[in-house]
Structure 1
Amino acid sequence: MLKLSAVIMSLALVSGCSTIVSESSYPVSISSSPSQADFVLVNRDGQQVHTGTTPDTVTLNASSGFFKGETYQLILNKDGYEEKTIEIESTVDGWYFGNILFGGLIGMLIVDPATGAMFKLPEGAEAQLDEKAVDASTVTIAMIDAIPEEQRASLIQVK
């Protein structure tokens, strides 16, 4: 009985609560309105970690190092629309605080921070893309008197 208690206590001390219950990488769905936008995901170090077209699901690491959550820049592009950048940021997983009861200081200060399980990512990121404004360089302004009579008939009045 003493051996069994010692084994259980040892396991509790060397494990982290988030490491047992959570993951260190998460699937994140990427979507946009309108869809079929090209996207690039860049991590906090400026490294491109994924490219694709919306909608898509990518698996991302929640941590970028010991006690350091990951932050991603999601850059979306689509012809006729303004480029949009969204930040995807990890947050502390609620299970991390379970170490107070189950994982102890080793889980809280070593295991979960080292494995990245102390952080989580949102399930998805969605972007509403805005249409590009009309380029003023494509608009020609002319006096009505400068337009030939035969072209005046095809003009449309703008109010």
Structure 2
Amino acid sequence: MKKLKLAAAIATLAMLTGCASIVGDKDQTVNISSSPSQANVVITDERSAHVHTATTPTTVQLKKADGSYFGGKTYTVEISKDGYASRTMMINSTPNGWYIGGNLLFGGLIGWLIVDPLTGAMYNLSPDSLNISLGDNVVANDDGDSAITLVLMEDVPESLHSDMRYVGQL
């Protein structure tokens, strides 16, 4: 009789949890690097709330859910460095395999419809690693916009000719 009660208690506890909540976490580590390094990183969430500021390379813990029912997080990562073009990347939440498959096998409807959607453990953030190239150095004019200055070949000093590269014909 005691073994039957113990088995019933374990089965009840298993039905009150979700697989993703058991296996997953509410937060996820995201690695951010850039080329060149020491670029400024600003992360905001879907509500435009400031989440994190750093310089690359950096590692940040981000929440997977916003606390609402089926509320996955979305982040905007802006990376900038003086003299380089800025880049913006998105980090999105998607349901993970433990939520989809694990609840089919073990968690049941309670895990699938209540526990995992409320805890946020049902999500993975993607991508979980950003390596962003800021591209070539650009020239900025007085108001901060990118600019290209064209000059005639005859106006370029002879000492700079060896540094020039052929781009192509018009």
TM-score with structure 1 setting the length = 0.84
| Equivalent position amino acid for 2:56 in 1 | T
- 1:83 is matched with 86
1:131–1:105 distance in 2 versus 1, CA, 3 Å: same
Partner residue of 1:54 out of 41, 53, 56: 56
| Corresponding residue of 2:30 | 28
Select the residue among 60, 68, 73 that pairs with 2:71.
68
Contact 2:83 2:139 in 1 (8 A): no
In structure 1, the gaps of 5 or more residues are 145-151
Determine the structure 1 residue equivalent to 2:130: 125
Aligned pairs for 1:148-159 within 5 A: 155-156=157-158
d(CA) in 2 for partners of 1:93, 1:125 = 19
Q: CA deviation at 1:9?
A: 1.3
Counterparts of 1:16 and 1:126 in 2: how far apart (Å)? Answer: 33
Paired-residue identity, %: 45
CA deviation profile, 1:115-154 (whole Å, cap 9, x unmatched): 0011012331121102353357785869x8xxxxxxx8x8
Q: Deviations over 1:92-126 (max 9, x none)?
A: 11100201111111110010000001101233112
Q: CA RMSD in A?
A: 2.3
Partner residue of 2:120 out of 116, 130, 146: 116
Bigger-Rg structure (1/2) = 1
Counterpart of 1:2? 4
Q: Are the aligned partners of 1:12 and 1:104 in contact in 2 as well (CA < 8 Å)?
A: no
- Stretch moving more, 89-98 or 132-141: 132-141
Distance 1:94 1:140 in 2: 54
Q: Is 1:17 aligned with 2:24?
A: no
Gaps of at least 5 residues in structure 2 are 142-146
The residue type equivalent to 2:9 in the other structure is: V
Q: 1:88–1:125: 8 Å Cα contact kept in structure 2?
A: no
